[in-house]
């Protein structure tokens, strides 16, 4: 393992993040506050509790997941797309580094950024509602695993994309709707039986359910299935990245 190569890529990507640190800090704080104003005040006045949990607190895990998934995907996709765009990707391909080291550098930086934003949103939410995390270690584990899996997905999107429009296509048109329809702001049990069954085909449901369990001990699906879903998704993304570097798909054109 060439740790120097991983460290170099990681530091380079993090330097770009720190140059816009103020923007990266303020943006999630403002968006979180707006969500609490809209959902907490408007909807919360009609729905006082969900399964014994105040609605304002209930939406916190879904709100964090929404930001973490989109930020992980966007950070990782832009990180690898930009070297493709300016042509420096060939320096990585010709250097004595393998696909795992390149992936660790870019994905590691994207995971760090997304985790930072997720913790900021958690701290901001604590200003609005009384949060009690039942399993803090499990919460952190779910948060890190989600950052890793969606950063890997973003890495694949960055390689696949051939322009900036395609770079934003999947995060905007696929991931965000799946999060909103995946029980981020409501419980699956509130839906009619038919829609409950349909919603279970949404992979994001299992991530949000496991993450919410770490806060309140409530889950729409068993925790073991949530962990299997994250592990399977991560393994699938790693397999796709290995195939991309093995074949050079979208890297050498």
> DSSP for 30-58?
HHHHHHIIIIIIIITTT--EETTEEHHHH
Query: pLDDT-derived band of residue 41, with 50, 70 and 90 as boundaries?
Result: low
Return the pLDDT at 40: 64
**Whether pLDDT at 23 is above 90:** no
Structure-block tokens of residue 8: 């170099």
Structure-block tokens of residue 1: 């393992």
**Whether pLDDT at 44 is above 80:** no
Q: Lowest-confidence range among 35-39, 122-126, 184-188, 216-220?
A: 35-39
**Whether pLDDT at 12 is above 80:** yes
Return the pLDDT at 73: 93
What is the mean predicted confidence (pLDDT) over 69-77? 91
Query: pLDDT-derived band of residue 145, with 50, 70 and 90 as boundaries?
Result: very high
The whole model's pTM is what? 0.91
Nearest to 128 by CA among 67, 40, 25, 218: 40
On average, the pLDDT of the chain sits at: 88
Report the first-to-last Cα separation within the chain, whole angstroms: 27
> Which region, left, alpha or beta, applies to residue 250 given φ > 0 means left and ψ of -120 to 50 means alpha?
left
What is the mean predicted confidence (pLDDT) over 188-210? 90
Nearest to 202 by CA among 65, 35, 56, 57: 65
pLDDT digits (tens, 9 = 90+) for 78-114: 999 988 888 888 888 888 888 899 999 999 999 999 9
Kindly report the number of other CB atoms within 10 A of residue 23's CB atom. Answer: 8
Query: pLDDT-derived band of residue 17, with 50, 70 and 90 as boundaries?
Result: confident
Return the pLDDT at 11: 93
Cα(40)–Cα(249) distance, rounded to whole angstroms? 46
Kindly report the number of other CB atoms within 10 A of residue 49's CB atom. Answer: 12
Query: pLDDT-derived band of residue 147, with 50, 70 and 90 as boundaries?
Result: very high
Q: What are the backbone angles phi and psi of residue 208, rounded to the nearest 5°?
A: -65, -40
**Whether pLDDT at 32 is above 70:** yes
């Amino acid at each position: 393992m060439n740790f120097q190569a991983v460290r170099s890529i990681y530091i380079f990507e993090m330097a770009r993040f720190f140059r816009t640190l103020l923007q990266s800090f303020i943006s999630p704080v403002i968006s979180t506050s707006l969500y609490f104003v809209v959902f907490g005040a408007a909807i919360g006045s009609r729905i006082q509790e969900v399964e014994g949990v105040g609605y304002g607190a209930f939406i916190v895990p879904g709100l964090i997941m929404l930001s973490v998934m989109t930020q992980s995907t966007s950070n990782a996709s832009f990180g690898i797309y930009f070297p493709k765009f300016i042509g420096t990707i060939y320096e990585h391909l010709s250097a004595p580094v393998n696909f795992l080291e390149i992936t660790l550098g870019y994905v590691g930086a994207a995971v760090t950024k997304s985790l930072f934003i997720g913790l900021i949103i958690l701290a901001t939410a604590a200003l609005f509602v009384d949060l009690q995390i039942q399993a803090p270690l499990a919460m952190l584990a779910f948060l890190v695993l989600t950052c890793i899996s969606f950063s890997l997905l973003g890495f694949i999107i960055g390689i696949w994309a051939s322009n900036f429009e395609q770079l934003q296509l999947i995060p905007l048109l696929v991931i965000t709707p799946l999060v909103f329809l995946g029980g981020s702001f409501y419980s699956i049990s509130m839906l009619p039986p038919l829609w409950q069954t349909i919603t279970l085909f949404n992979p994001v449901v299992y991530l949000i359910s496991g993450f919410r369990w770490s806060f309140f001990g409530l889950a729409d699906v068993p925790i073991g299935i949530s962990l299997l879903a994250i592990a399977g998704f991560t393994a699938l993304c790693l397999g796709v990245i290995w195939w991309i570097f093995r074949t050079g798909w979208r890297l050498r054109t």
